[in-house]
Amino acid sequence: IIDDLKSEINKVDNKQDFQNLKASYLGKKGKVKDLMKEISKIEPEKRKAYGQEVNKIKNQIEHIFEEKMEEIKKIEKEKKEKKNWIDVTLPGAITNRGKEHLIEKTARELIEIFTNHGFKQVEGPEVEKTWFNFDALNTPEWHPAREMQDTFYIDSDVGTLLRTHTSPVQVRTMLKEKPPLAIISPGRVFRKDEMDATHLFAFNQLEALYIDKKVSVANLKYYLESFTREFFGSKVDILLRPSYFPFTEPSFEVDLTCIACGGKGCNVCGNTGWIEVLGAGLVNPNVIKNVGLDPDEWQGFALGAGIERFAMLKYNINDIREFVKNDIRFID
């Protein structure tokens, strides 16, 4: 029985098997009990010796199980340690980290340039009153310029719309704060445009407004030149082309040396060497009057730049729809 046990117990390496084996030897229906029962078949005078012998065997068996228990405990402890062991030399799990979207990055770069020059960032609502978006900006109901920008109206009775540009923030700021003023306002604008490679119906602009005494086109030119050079690099020049906006006089469309060809002429700039990047001008005296200021005392310049356009030029993107497609490869 001892030899049997020794060979059987060798195969045991866990507590469950151990308990089963132990029960089969020392349990109520175990082999040792069976040996005890045999005593009735033994001649009476030999029973004492038999009993002592069985007891000896039982003690040996108990001892074997005790030793085995120690071993099992050790094995189980090692197993547990192995399971909890961390291999610090393994390469870490790769997690995909979020990235700053190019529009966000471009806006941040532009904002940084202007705030470094002392411009303060302000916000305006995307759902705007018609009065701020058009009327106060010298664009009354009958004005043909309203058709320049196809508008998403929300409630024409109340006079609410999705702002078509960031220029209403000019009005909101001038009504709220006393000049001199130097503010920028980045944000989303909306136009009923068909989507194509250069148009989205929701895009971003950066408005800048500077109001002070004796502001002239020279001041505007200085800022246009310095901020575009800071943003694109020192080699770009600006070209002011006369244009028309109801809220500025004079008004300009501002071109930049074509980044793609360095001004030599290519298919990006239609061989002109210039690329239109923003609208600007001196704040129309009517707008100054509309916010209750005296145009003889206060003048200013304003500009509105398309953030997507700046991002496309700087980062060489040829389809504006890429920005909103949410293709992770593009964002990467």
Using CB under 6 A, list all residues that contact ligand PHE.
165, 167, 245, 248, 279-281, 302-304
In whole angstroms, the minimum distance from the beta carbon of 302 to ligand PHE comes to 4
> Is the Cβ of residue 165 or residue 309 nearer to ligand PHE in the bound state?
165
> Is the Cβ of residue 25 or residue 134 nearer to ligand PHE in the bound state?
134
> Is the Cβ of residue 138 or residue 248 nearer to ligand PHE in the bound state?
248
> Is the Cβ of residue 200 or residue 302 nearer to ligand PHE in the bound state?
302
249 annotated to a ligand binding site: yes
In whole angstroms, the minimum distance from the beta carbon of 182 to ligand PHE comes to 14
CA dihedral 187, 245, 301, 215 (to 10 degrees): -170
Query: Which residue's C-beta sits nearest to ligand PHE?
Result: 304
In whole angstroms, the minimum distance from the beta carbon of 259 to ligand PHE comes to 21
> Is the Cβ of residue 245 or residue 310 nearer to ligand PHE in the bound state?
245
In whole angstroms, the minimum distance from the beta carbon of 305 to ligand PHE comes to 8
Are 171 and 279 in contact by the 8 Å Cβ rule? The answer is: no
> Is the Cβ of residue 25 or residue 245 nearer to ligand PHE in the bound state?
245
In whole angstroms, the minimum distance from the beta carbon of 167 to ligand PHE comes to 4
What is the C-alpha to C-alpha distance for residues 230 and 275, in angstroms, rounded to an integer? 17
In whole angstroms, the minimum distance from the beta carbon of 268 to ligand PHE comes to 21
Extract the annotated binding site for Mg(2+): 249
